[in-house]
């Protein structure tokens, strides 16, 4: 008689983690899946809008797709796209900078007056403009981090201050490009790449590459997202929140100075009345590009798409023969729709 031993396998967990994930995904509706994808990849929405807009405007008016017109669109986007990078950094921290446009004009006037009025060499004039731009960022950052004032109130105040300083320094006069060293107006020069592209556009693209790398591949970038998502949690994890915030405003100030250089090249001169709607357009580009006004979500590539959307809409509607008022109306509608979509997407966290 032989002993027979029956071995029963040990009972494992009723459902593995993989099975739980599969069950969760299976329970999601198609709308929930779309919302989750848009939350993870915020640049998808503006990319779709841009492609559709290009197709529609190209059908309405074939001149829209002409190389010369596409070159014009990119030149128009260069300044707003550059300012959009500065605005994106601030909004990622759940702040907002209403003064970037005024700070850019101030920096451009400083550059123009330093070169034409004081006879400072072009390179040094650009460095003086860089100092002016960084100074605007330091002022905003100091008021936000040291006095704990809301970014909206701070930058609303500095908007008026920078505008007044611009008028005082320039006496309301424009410095023509022929009075400036070539290096200062160089950003408006073009080279051929299928279409005529200005060096200002090239500089903007390089800026996007650098900032995208900094946000996605460095500790500083991770800290920016963490501060914007939950500053208290970031502080408890050892991140020096105020230092990160101050650095963001300083970097934004340096980017503003770069935008001023591009603006001078585009206008072939520095004017205190330049780019009056630059700040609004920059915020519009950021919001349309998928960066959340509540901070912690978004990227600069979405902002570039947003800036292109603004440029495409304004150019396409102009070629369609619509008045500038309707162009502004269309941009306003885009902003409201973009914010509404952002609110809808954010529900994925609940």
Tens of pLDDT along 78-109? 999 999 999 999 999 999 999 999 999 999 99
70, 196 in Cβ contact below 8 A?
no
Q: Which of 10-19, 74-83, 115-124 is predicted least confidently?
A: 10-19
User: What is the Cα gyration radius of the chain?
Assistant: 24
- Name the pTM for this structure: 0.85
Tens of pLDDT along 145-177? 999 999 999 999 999 999 999 999 998 889 998
Mean pLDDT, the chain, rounded, equals: 87
Average pLDDT over residues 203-220: 96
Q: Which residues lie below 8 Å from residue 223, measured CB to CB, with a gap of 6+?
A: 234, 239, 244
pLDDT of residue 12: 47
Tens of pLDDT along 288-304? 888 888 888 888 999 99
Residue 191: its H or E element? strand 190-193
Q: Helix 100-112 vs helix 67-92: angle between axes, to the nearest 10 degrees?
A: 110
pLDDT of residue 223: 96
């Amino acid at each position: 008689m032989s002993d027979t031993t029956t071995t029963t396998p040990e009972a494992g967990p009723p459902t593995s983690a993989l099975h739980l994930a599969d069950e969760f995904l299976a329970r999601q509706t198609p709308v929930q899946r779309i919302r989750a994808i848009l939350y993870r990849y915020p640049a998808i929405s503006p990319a779709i809008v841009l492609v559709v807009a290009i197709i529609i405007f190209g059908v309405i008016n074939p001149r829209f797709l002409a190389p010369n017109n596409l070159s014009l669109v990119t030149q128009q986007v260069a300044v707003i796209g550059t300012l959009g990078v500065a605005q994106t950094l601030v909004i990622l921290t759940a702040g907002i900078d209403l003064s970037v446009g005024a700070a850019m004009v101030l920096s451009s006037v400083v550059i123009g007056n330093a070169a034409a009025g004081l006879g400072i060499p072009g390179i040094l004039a650009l460095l003086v403009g860089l100092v002016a731009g960084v100074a605007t960022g330091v002022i905003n950052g100091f008021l936000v981090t040291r006095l704990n004032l809301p970014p909206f109130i701070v930058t609303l105040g500095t908007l008026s201050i920078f505008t007044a300083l611009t008028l005082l320094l320039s006496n309301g006069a424009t410095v023509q490009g022929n009075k400036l060293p070539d290096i200062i107006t160089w950003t408006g020069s073009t080279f051929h790449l299928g279409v005529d592209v200005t060096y200002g556009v090239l500089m903007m693209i390089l800026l996007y590459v650098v900032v995208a790398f900094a946000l996605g591949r460095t500790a500083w970038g991770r800290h920016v997202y963490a501060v914007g998502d939950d500053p208290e949690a970031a502080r408890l994890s050892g991140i020096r929140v105020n230092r990160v915030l101050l650095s963001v405003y300083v970097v934004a100030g340096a980017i503003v100075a770069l935008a001023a250089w591009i603006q001078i090249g585009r206008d072939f001169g520095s004017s205190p009345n330049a780019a009056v709607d630059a700040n609004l357009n920059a915020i519009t580009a950021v919001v349309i590009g998928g960066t959340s006004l509540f901070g912690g979500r978004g990227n600069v590539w979405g902002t570039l798409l947003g800036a292109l959307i603004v440029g495409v809409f304004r150019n396409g509607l102009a070629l369609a023969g619509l008045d500038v008022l309707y162009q502004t109306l269309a941009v306003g509608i885009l902003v409201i729709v973009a914010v509404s979509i952002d609110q809808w997407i954010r529900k994925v966290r609940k």
